[in-house]
Amino acid sequence: MKRVLVVGAGIQGLVTAAREHLAKNQVFIVEKRKRIGGRGTSQESFGHQLEHGPHLLLKGGELHKMVKKVSKVKPSLRPIRPNKVLIVGHGELYPINDPKEILNLKMGKDPIREEALRLISGWGQDIPERKQALLKGKLCVVGEGWSGLIGRLASTLEEVGVPIQTGMKITGTYDGGVITSKGMKIEADEVKMCDGSPIGEPVKVSTLDVVLDNRPLKGLHGLIKGDVAILDLAAIHPKKAPGMSHFSCIALSGGVSKIEDLLDERVSGWRSHIITRRENNSITLTDSRGLLSDGMI
Ligand SMILES: Cc1cc2nc3c(=O)[nH]c(=O)nc-3n(C[C@H](O)[C@H](O)[C@H](O)COP(=O)(O)OP(=O)(O)OC[C@H]3O[C@@H](n4cnc5c(N)ncnc54)[C@H](O)[C@@H]3O)c2cc1C
């Protein structure tokens, strides 16, 4: 049995800890923030869970498999339907009622739809597995939110006795352990760095999550214009804001104001229906590897 210390309690850290526990090692997690979850954290506001932008879980991917393995009840998933996503000025993302348009798309003769597929499946990254998953109804909104997955992993780790120490920052390592910002040494046989540091250049995006008290998109799953996407999580998953809209939006460039411009253009009056909102002008989506976490963890 090895003593394994995991640095960081984001998705990667929690999954790594679960794996190390299953491998019969003695595991300990340290997290610098007071809250666990990293970029998978959501914030409760007026009874709604606001995330850091849209997250779609790859059904059957590594994260989904791990969550299913540790949970008694399966997470509730609903797929985003590409035929219910509208590209402004171009039509549906996947026009099921128009065989000619579908053929164009399949033959690579529709760059606008191709870009839009890339936007929704990988938030602009070219991830063929996720593109296929989107078309097959396997990219899903999680009813309990991305943070619900974090909660399941964390409570399982707690049940099996893996401690998570929050509010403790690791500032260095030495041969035989790590050093905290307060100069304390923690011994470990192996240290797993899961601190979310990008490898190479970080890819930054902007996000806006906003709950409205009405349903101006009338059941559409999403809207796309250029490199901005608005998803209505409430239209996709019945557990999210029933009777209202939960817009989870992302812009690959131009900041939050570009998202607001699209909302102003397509969802007139949205500002007077806001129940709550959360935004990030610049958050790291991924890095030079161009991957998202749920398929590769
Ligand atoms: C808008 C957006 C949409 C996304 N959509 C998807 C999606 O649809 N599907 C998908 O799979 N992924 C998606 N992602 C990516 C996914 O959110 C991240 O890959 C994942 O959350 C990263 O997890 P992590 O544990 O590697 O890093 P982080 O979440 O960054 O966690 C790292 C943790 O380590 C802690 N830490 C850092 N330094 C130290 C230290 N020195 N000492 C102690 N603790 C430390 C941090 O506080 C943090 O809690 C999306 C990301 C964004 C921003």
pTM of the model: 0.95
Q: Which domains does the chain have, with CATH numbers?
A: 3-62+146-193 (3.50.50.60), 81-136+201-289 (no CATH)
- Nearest-CA residue for atom 5 of ligand 1: 55
Residue with CA closest to ligand 1 atom 7: 55
Ligand 1: residue of 149, 293, 296 to mutate (most ligand atoms within 8 A of CB) is 293
CA of 276 to the centre of ligand 1 (A): 23
Query: 293: pLDDT confidence band, cut at 50, 70 and 90?
Result: confident
Pocket test for ligand 1, best of 5, 11, 31, 39 (most atoms within 8 A of CB): 39
Q: Dump pLDDT digits (tens) for 133-144.
A: 999 999 999 999
- Residue 140: enclosing H or E segment and its boundaries? strand 139-142
d(CA 21, CA 154): 13
Tell me what pLDDT residue 295 has. Answer: 66
Cβ pair 139, 123 in contact under 8 A: no
Q: In what order do the strands lie in the sheet with 77-79?
A: 57-58, 139-142, 77-79
Kindly give the distance from the C-alpha atom of residue 196 to the centroid of ligand 1, in angstroms, as a whole number.
5
| pLDDT tens-place string over residues 188-202 | 999 999 999 999 999
Q: How far is CA 149 from CA 15, 37, 68, 128, in A?
A: 11, 9, 10, 24
Residue 297 has pLDDT above 80, yes or no: no
Region 111-124 average pLDDT: 97
The CA-based diameter of the chain, rounded to the nearest angstrom, is 66
101 has pLDDT over 90: yes
